[in-house]
């Protein structure tokens, strides 16, 4: 059972939106369900009195973004990006290369420009772009990890690029490459909510002790 299925099942069990229920009914046998489209705001978690439980719940909500294919495709377990909502191998076959910017002779930037480019075709409707397009380093791999494992990776300076929690908040809430996920170009489903609302969930998670789900 995949994480996203567990997440959706949990959401339905909690009496979440009718949309999720319909999604769950429409894809009964599928190993993975479509990614989340909604994001609760941080203030709505204030009713959870236990601080550790509130903290873990805030991260779990933020993980609707973190575990969305728009993020996960660049945080693969192998040194190879994936693409699409099904996180299939990148076509053409692609590798991180020495500096996570592609093998020599075929840099990411040879196809991924500074901004998304619409193709005006029926197939691939746009080529994603950002000035810093590159693969997340191996220590920041998320695909295949559980929610709790991703949480512990993100708050560990040995594996998160030497960032303290304030720097993690800044990266999540302000970074332009992270922000691409809400503006992914024609033909791609954006990450749920807004980067601002996501930043506020991360703020709430940090202020309540940055606890991780089990
Ligand atoms: C030869 C051209 C080419 C090169 C080089 C290339 N890409 Fe891509 N990449 C594409 C195209 C075209 C797409 C859009 C495919 C689609 O939407 O089905 C894409 C899509 C992606 C996506 C999927 C986005 C999403 O959420 O669906 C990621 C992630 C990605 N590339 C990362 C990289 C990284 C990282 C590198 C360098 C290590 C790289 N690519 C090098 C052409 C390339
Ligand atoms: C185009 C590829 C790409 C996409 C898309 C992407 N990232 Fe990343 N991410 C990277 C790279 C490269 C780094 C390393 C940057 C650095 O350390 O300065 C990184 C690092 C991070 C870090 C640093 C800490 C750590 O331990 O992982 C966080 C947090 C992060 N990304 C969050 C996200 C989120 C959230 C999304 C989606 C909303 C996202 N990223 C989408 C490429 C990407």
Mean pLDDT over 66-72 rounds to 98
Mind listing the pLDDT tens digit for each residue in 108-121?
999 999 999 999 99
Element (H, E) at 130: none
Round the average pLDDT of the chain to a whole number and report it.
88
**Ligand 1 geometric centre to CA of 109 (Å):** 10
**Whose atoms come closest to the Cα of 69: which ligand?**
1
Full DSSP string of 97-129:
-TTSS-STTS-GGGTS-SS-EE--SSSS-EE--
Angle between helices 51-66 and 147-154 (to 10 degrees): 100
Q: How much of the chain, in percent, has pLDDT values that exceed 90?
A: 80
Return the half-sphere exposure (C-beta side, CA atoms, 13 A cut-off) of residue 18: 0
Angle at 183 between CA 123 and CA 73, to 5 degrees: 65
Smallest Cα–Cα separation from 199: which of 175, 173, 180? 173
Model confidence over 146-187: pLDDT tens digits?
A: 999 999 999 999 999 999 999 999 999 999 999 999 999 999
Question: Greater confidence, 7 or 77?
Answer: 77
pLDDT (tens digit per residue) in 9-46: 433 333 333 333 333 343 333 345 567 789 999 999 99
Inter-CA distances, 190 with 86, 94, 146, Å: 14, 23, 22
Instruction: Give backbone dihedrals phi and psi of 89, rounded to 5 degrees, phi first.
Output: -60, 140
Pocket test for ligand 1, best of 128, 131, 183, 187 (most atoms within 8 A of CB): 128
């Amino acid at each position: 059972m995949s994480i996203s299925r567990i997440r959706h099942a949990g959401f339905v069990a909690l009496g979440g939106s009718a949309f999720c229920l319909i999604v769950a009914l429409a894809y009964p046998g599928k190993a993975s369900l479509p990614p989340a489209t909604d994001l609760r705001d941080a203030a709505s978690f204030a009713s959870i009195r236990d601080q550790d439980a509130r903290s873990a719940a805030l991260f779990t909500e933020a993980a609707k973004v973190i575990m969305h294919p728009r993020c996960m495709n660049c945080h693969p377990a192998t040194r190879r990006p994936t693409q699409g909502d099904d996180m299939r191998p990148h076509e053409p076959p692609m590798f991180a290369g020495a500096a996570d910017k592609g093998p020599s002779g075929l840099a990411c930037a040879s196809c991924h420009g500074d901004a998304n480019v619409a193709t005006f075709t029926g197939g691939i409707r746009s080529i994603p772009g950002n000035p810093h397009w590159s693969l997340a380093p191996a220590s920041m791999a998320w695909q295949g990890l559980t929610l709790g494992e991703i949480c512990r990776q993100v708050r560990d300076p040995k594996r998160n690029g030497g960032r303290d929690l304030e720097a993690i908040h800044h990266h999540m809430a302000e970074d332009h490459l992270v922000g691409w996920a809400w503006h992914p170009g024609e033909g791609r489903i954006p990450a749920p909510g807004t980067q601002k609302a996501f930043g506020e969930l991360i703020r709430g998670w940090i202020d309540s002790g940055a606890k991780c789900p089990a």
